[in-house]
Structure 1
């Protein structure tokens, strides 16, 4: 059933049956799909979090089925409780809505990306106080989600907190708006200042020297995984948030799942040895979620088709999302 967001946002690709009454115990019982039958447009502004599926991965440098993650993400909900023992918080305290998926053109990547910009702007317009959580898709979606945010809130200065193995600063003239260029895209389009970008997790042999040179010349802030571990993941994230909060109005969190060590993320096309542990990423995301200026986030570059039978990477990606919201609740209390 369609919603008031259609046609710029399609109904969710997969929905669970929800109980009409009784205690909410599981995530699939808690998150409500936005349809004309389930959500009254007069009350939608009360939402605390709104999910948007962004099933685009044709713009990936390496072959990727990350477009399948929004569907797999929704199907994973049944395996998670709304209660987080570590934080002693229950996510069912939040009003969570699933807006559905951005419509994608079969062959035209730029049209797909234009649709993402429009969908992002639409959600930030209708849900001005909610945390907008985009479920990718490859990393090219980040630039489009941020452009949509800027389109709706042109007066706001935006900063980026990025968990990533890569700079994602490749030359636009060679790579176009791909998953290797979202940060450069935002810099060159004037949407985000380079000095307001903070990248945590770079490591090893997975970035060329010219990208580091570009980052240094433009003033991008970055912390290698090695130095992050020496300082501590929580302390590093807190430093980034403290510096960003003095310079920007809104912080956008982007989690590229390739920041993880390949042992923890078999379902990531560009996963590498020597990356973050799942515990490190979850701690970083939880810390970011606590900050009141982190108003939007995405999870990108997770390919369920490459995952093993038990879908460990899909489960971890879902855990990242829930941990971010756990941090948000804790930050509000």
Structure 2
């Protein structure tokens, strides 16, 4: 790892050409840097972005492996200035580290690469905030395991924004996109009581999964409850409860939490889901909390997208979180 991140990581599959002209109107693709050295000075960076182009472990057919590249391509359509908050993200320094190498057929080997990548990030630049662009939801378990490997003394909590419990049985499905939270609980990386899942609804979670959640004291809020209480109240309460019991909060955003009419690129999106404005508010609030120390965005298939609706929503989600991050004291 003396030349971390390369060759341990693959360079970004897609890189924007910078024009080098200073402008007050900075676009996101101009703001996010790509490393030009195998041995950079990490000190100036605040945010690191990592791609994990994995979808072989998805239970349903998905090309979520295309998402990191698709999100990078969509950066050009966004500026760093957030009008609604009168805040410019360009005051942060962000760098794209590239992608975790993928084995052609061996999912377990790729999962190990993901764990190793998170552990390496915590070793080489622990002061930066890691944002991971997935990939299917199986990557979350591996990233959290990498965090635990780097910080074995910490208690980790999960803030999960999702339509599904993701508690399916590993003996049946293996470490797949439907099992990451179960994976972390079964492997004793986290406790069920330290999971807060927000966005469940309708006819898309089996009774057996609810029983497992209740047995392990998971905290979950349905979309009906979110609409009654308000997303800000629900997120704030979840963060307050996690703050009392854990050292690190890991935020995982499954893009299928959005209503299917608003996220055509999420293979498992359903009717009755969250609205983009609710998701943006949720992640901005999460970004403001000092114990939220890592984030991923998962389960988005650009090949199923329509007019980049889903991909641009995912980029907006990332930028909304970073808006909250900028608002930390």
- TM-score (structure 1 length as normaliser): 0.96
Aligned with 2:322 (options 299, 321, 325): 325
Q: 1:4, 1:35 within 8 Å by CA — same for their partners in 2?
A: no
Corresponding residue for residue 294 of structure 1: 292
**1:35 and 2:32 equivalent?**
no
**1:211 and 2:209 equivalent?**
yes
Structure 2 unmatched runs, 5+: none
Corresponding residue for residue 83 of structure 1: 81
Q: 1:18, 1:29 within 8 Å by CA — same for their partners in 2?
A: yes
Q: Which moved more, 1:146-155 or 1:7-16?
A: 7-16
Provide, for residues 93-141 of structure 1, a one-character-per-residue CA deviation record: whole Å limited to 9, x for no partner: 0010100000000100111100000011111111211110000000000
Equivalent residue runs for 1:228-243 within 5 Å: 228-243=226-241
Q: Number of aligned pairs?
A: 327
Q: 1:4, 1:36 within 8 Å by CA — same for their partners in 2?
A: no
Per the TM alignment, residue 21 of structure 1 is displaced from its structure 2 partner at its CA by 4.8
Q: 1:256, 1:300 within 8 Å by CA — same for their partners in 2?
A: yes
Corresponding residue for residue 250 of structure 2: 252
SS of equivalent residue, structure 1 residue 117: helix
Aligned with 1:54 (options 52, 55, 64): 52
Q: 1:201, 1:223 within 8 Å by CA — same for their partners in 2?
A: yes
Provide, for residues 178-225 of structure 1, a one-character-per-residue CA deviation record: whole Å limited to 9, x for no partner: 000000000011111111000000000000000000000001110011
SS of equivalent residue, structure 1 residue 159: strand
Corresponding residue for residue 273 of structure 2: 275
RMSD: 1.3
Corresponding residue for residue 192 of structure 1: 190
List 4+ stretches of structure 1 deviating above 6 A: none
Q: 1:68, 1:303 within 8 Å by CA — same for their partners in 2?
A: yes
Aligned with 2:262 (options 245, 264, 267): 264
SS of equivalent residue, structure 1 residue 271: coil
Looking at structure 2, the residues matched to 51 and 102 of structure 1 have their Cα atoms a distance apart, in angstroms, of: 11
Structure 1 unmatched runs, 5+: none
Per the TM alignment, residue 276 of structure 1 is displaced from its structure 2 partner at its CA by 0.3
Equivalent residue runs for 1:22-171 within 5 Å: 22-23=22-23, 25-36=26-37, 41=40, 43-171=41-169
Q: 1:267, 1:313 within 8 Å by CA — same for their partners in 2?
A: yes
- TM-score (structure 2 length as normaliser): 0.97
Per the TM alignment, residue 261 of structure 1 is displaced from its structure 2 partner at its CA by 0.2
